[in-house]
Amino acid sequence: MGTERASMEDLAAVSASETARRIAAGELTAIAAVDAALQRVERLDGELHSFLSLDADAARRQARDADGAQQRGEPLGPLHGVPISLKDEVWTAGLRSTAGSLLYADFVPETDAEVVVRLKRAGAIVIGKSQLPEFAAWPRSTNLVGPEACNPHDRSRISGASSGGSAAGVAAGLVPLSIGSDGGGSIRIPSALCGTFGIFPTPGLVPERGSFSYSPFGSLGPISRSVRDAAIMLQVIAGHDPLHAASLSGAVPDYLADLDASVRDLRVAFTPDFGWIDVDPRIAAMTRRTAQSLAAAGAIVEEPGIEIEDIWPAFGIVTSGAALYGDCPPPFTQTDAHRALVESNLDRLTPPLAASMAMEPPTQAQYEDAMKVIERLRYQMAVWLERYDVVCSPTMSVVAPPIPDGWEMPYLDGRMGTNFTSLANVCRLTAASYPCGLVDDLPVGFQVIGSTRAEALVLRVCRALEKVVPYGMRPGCDGPLPERDRR
């Protein structure tokens, strides 16, 4: 095999599906693919900080086993030999799983999360765990366990949250695929800011068993540089889990079967602001042009003046009150190694999380009022998704902000950057962010929202975009990472 000649730079831009194809064809070994990824991590991640933990020895052992299976002619999975990363709220047997918290800095699970079991069964090789905010509860991927994950396009800027380490690593070509999680935009936001593709699956489609995930509206999902790669990963991880109470039942469709099908006559609605969001006019113009590119592919694209009320107050109340009054398990307690957040532990939390823990929880009346708002939002979106197949918008109203000092918020409005994204979460829809261009040399994301369990349709629309707006599906930093003056 001519595999050992493959350099880390050669493989940095190769898709997961192409890597798996080369390994299956004997053109590449899994150990060469894993070594290339680890070498690139060693060269770049000292400045990028996308990884919180690496497991190089175990990854190389798995790669050698994968090569042995390939040489013996054994059946190979769709991700055979492909190096990937996982957001560090997903449990991994034998590798620490911290949730970005000092409370779990030494927690080593005895079992893999269900999604990890499925990924390994498909042949994927986990090389490490990616950076996130403590318990995924802050809009910057920073904590007290490791340094902040920064943006590969400009490391003076945030990578987004809460799956910022995953998006930064994929954008920089360290791995072609990563698992993130999204409870209000945490896959789509860092994907938009770093220039990757990310899809938020319908809550319950992907099992969360064996993770720290706790959002009532959340899901684990793929971050990639290729729509096809995301479809392959979603195919692997989606499906009912009888041991996960919130898991959706029913057959999982073939996400690859119609991925390249035409979007002719699909009804597409575009909104630059949902009637209330203050968005950079350059981002509004770029995403509007992206929507119109679907018209060139045969879709029926309209801008019908969608107005949806401000979701933020209700979103915050329901997210924080779900454990008390809803059907969501309480945060931070879904593990056999449960450690209650007692007063003696508060000084070990990041300042933002400690402050939030000290706040009075919402009352039941406040929670019920907020749920009424969310029910109205669900009705409003149901009406629009009856008229249109997908609703599109910017993913973010701004490009990646500069990293603030200390523990300050990166967004001027004091919110979490979820104005565009949280709507899909509370309505239990599916949504993706596609990288559609640059503003000030920084990536812009285009959001595609579909109905509940419409992942195949959303992926097909994004694949159509990939053919006509092919920006962003390549490593964001080849060579020294840029660092601009902080503003």
Closest Cα to residue 63, out of 151, 140, 134, 127?
Answer: 127
Q: Where are the alpha helices (DSSP H) in 15-171?
A: 16-24, 30-48, 56-71, 114-121, 164-171
Confirm whether 186 is a catalytic residue.
yes
Tokens describing residue 180: 């993130």
Q: Where are the alpha helices (DSSP H) in 176-333?
A: 188-194, 227-237, 281-296, 312-325
For residue 121, the number of C-alpha atoms closer than 13 Å in the C-beta half-sphere is 10
SS3 169: helix
Choosing from 15, 17, 178, 186, the catalytic residue is 186
Confirm whether 87 is a catalytic residue.
yes
Whether residue 477 contacts residue 172, with contact meaning beta carbons closer than 8 Å, is answered with yes
Choosing from 162, 166, 181, 433, the catalytic residue is 162
- Backbone angle region of 414, left / alpha / beta, with phi > 0 → left and psi within -120 to 50 → alpha: left
Tally: H helices and E strands in the chain: 14, 13
Element (DSSP H or E) covering residue 435: strand 430-439
Closest Cα to residue 167, out of 148, 183, 186?
Answer: 186
Q: Please state, in angstroms and rounded to a whole number, the distance separating the CA atoms of residues 451 and 449.
A: 7
Confirm whether 422 is a catalytic residue.
no
Q: Please state, in angstroms and rounded to a whole number, the distance separating the CA atoms of residues 276 and 177.
A: 34
CA distances in angstroms from 23 to 16, 30, 73, 159, listed in the order given: 11, 6, 12, 31
Tokens describing residue 457: 């349709």
Whether residue 188 contacts residue 447, with contact meaning beta carbons closer than 8 Å, is answered with yes
Q: Please state, in angstroms and rounded to a whole number, the distance separating the CA atoms of residues 94 and 111.
A: 8
Choosing from 15, 17, 53, 87, the catalytic residue is 87
Burial of 414 (0-12, 13-18, 19+ CB in 10 A): exposed
Q: Please state, in angstroms and rounded to a whole number, the distance separating the CA atoms of residues 311 and 305.
A: 17
Catalogue the active-site residues.
87, 162, 186
